[in-house]
Structure 1
Amino acid sequence: MQNVKKHHQGGFNRPRLDLVQCLFCKGKAVVKGVFYELVCTDCNGSGWVVEGTRLVLPLEELVTQLSFKLQQAQRQIEALKRPAKVVGPQQQYQEPNRLGAGGTNYTGD
């Protein structure tokens, strides 16, 4: 009997593709025609293509990949909204320690 190892390749996880703006329409999904705007044929009117290969994704896959991109952007926004952790001597002035009179901040000054 052969010793066979099972390799899990993330069958349940969707791959995250790196999307970039379409070079032809510059991410606007439309191009300027003579009289009116036309849907960009290079990106199927989405404004996004796969980085490196410039492949156009089918609409079902594009919706999923754009959702992943939106979730990542929302996580970055939330991380930027959180106040930076103060380290060093100034920390005792920024965070209350409730050691002073009436539970106020005591800095020892």
Structure 2
Amino acid sequence: MKRHGPDFQKQTRPLAPCGRCRGQGVVKGLFYEMPCEGCHGSGFVDAATGERLEIEELVLQLGRSLRLERQQAANRSAQAGAERDYRGGSGRHGLRGHWTGD
């Protein structure tokens, strides 16, 4: 187990919506919207501490979250397709069975 120095791999950190901008990434100014200073305009802060992440760390964490979401969406899509095929999505309007014409 490593006891000192930087980690070999960056750990995924849980993110939470920013309290200042309520996760929007912008705050209302007098005449226009401005990027939120509490989260670098991302809408997310560290869930454990509530502090904003440094830009490099923020890019890394948001990229990981996006890849995870895409992977989960692809899995849901594949699962829905398999379920549709199993339930008889052949366009036969509920008629089941294999009529062979004999």
TM-score (norm 2): 0.69
The answer for the alignment partner of 2:93 in structure 1 is none
| RMSD of equivalent CA atoms | 3.0
Return the alpha-carbon distance in structure 2 between the equivalents of residues 20 and 14 of structure 1: 18
Q: For 2:17 and 2:10, how far apart are their aligned partners in 1?
A: 21
1:43 aligns with 2:39: yes
1:27 paired with 2:23, answer yes
CA gap 1:45/1:83 in 2 versus in 1, 3 angstroms:
closer
Between Structure 1 and Structure 2, how many residues are aligned? 89
Q: Which has the higher contact order (CA 8 A, sep 6+)?
A: 2
The partner residue of 1:57 within 50, 53, 58 is 53
Q: Which residue of 1 aligns with 2:63?
A: 67
Structure 2: how far apart are the matches of 1:61 and 1:13? Answer: 13
Q: CA deviation at 1:37?
A: 1.2
Paired residue secondary structure (1:61):
helix
| 1:61 counterpart letter in structure 2 | E
* Gap regions ≥5 residues in structure 1: 1-6, 95-105
1:59 partner amino acid: I
| TM-score, normalised by the number of residues in structure 1 | 0.65
- Of 9, 15, 39, the residue aligned with 1:13 is 9
Q: Which amino acid aligns with 1:54?
A: G
Work out which of the two has the higher radius of gyration on C-alpha atoms and give 1 or 2.
1
Report the structure, 1 or 2, having the larger helix content: 2
Residue identity (%): 34
